[in-house]
Amino acid sequence: MRFAFKEWAVVVDALGRGGQILILRKGGISEGRGGFKMEHERFLLFPTLFHQQRESVIEAAQERYDVIAPLFPSPDELRLEFFAEVKLAKRLNSLAEAEALRGQHIWWDEVIAERFDWGKEKAIFALGTRVYRLPQPIELKMLPAYGGCKSWIELEREIETEGAKPVLTDGEFESRLGRMREALGENG
């Protein structure tokens, strides 16, 4: 696998621990007028501190951030531990749709509202992901090409995913995905 999706380190941690399956994405500044596009259905999770705002997540996630922050690699290194497969992708065209997902992610409501309202298009994307832990963490050098406010990164080399294990059992994942579908008014 060569493509990675940039997300706050505390969110990657929540995904990797099975605390949530949901990714909400508006799109990075570097993605231009078109905003976020679902370019890949399978991708590595690229934890970033770029725009990391401890105060933007709920209190339990802030406490978790305080635990994991000392373990972050140095700024010139990148540690990949997880990959994800998108099982549900939906553009949310109203803030009410995004609010219906409350309790399924670690962001404060105000952060979701700000992301929804930012930019020309008033929308946000919801991705229901199945997350897998790599057999061992992969350490890479942080390259200048990986920087900036963008969602997708093409890594310098392929990362082997064979032997990765899902972080949630099939039943747990299906239950969470069903809850997400129900909140979004989706039928199976």
Q: What is the pLDDT of residue 188?
A: 54
Q: What is the pLDDT of residue 31?
A: 43
Q: pLDDT tens, position by position, for the chain (188 residues)?
A: 999 999 989 999 999 999 999 999 875 444 445 556 667 899 999 998 755 577 788 889 999 989 988 888 888 999 999 999 999 999 898 999 999 999 999 988 888 888 777 767 788 889 999 999 999 999 999 998 888 777 889 999 999 999 999 999 999 999 999 999 999 998 75
Dihedral pair phi/psi, residue 38, rounded to 5°: -80, 85
Q: Do 68 and 106 form a contact (C-beta atoms < 8 A)?
A: no
pTM for this predicted structure: 0.89
Q: At what angle do helices 59-68 and 9-16 cross, to 10 degrees?
A: 100
Q: What is the pLDDT of residue 51?
A: 53
Q: What is the pLDDT of residue 130?
A: 98
Give the Cα separation of 56 and 99 in Å (integer).
Answer: 15
Q: What is the DSSP letter of 160?
A: -
Q: What is the pLDDT of residue 186?
A: 84
Q: What is the pLDDT of residue 29?
A: 42
* N residues, the chain: 188
Q: What is the pLDDT of residue 37?
A: 65
Give the Cα separation of 94 and 90 in Å (integer).
Answer: 12
Q: Do 68 and 82 form a contact (C-beta atoms < 8 A)?
A: no
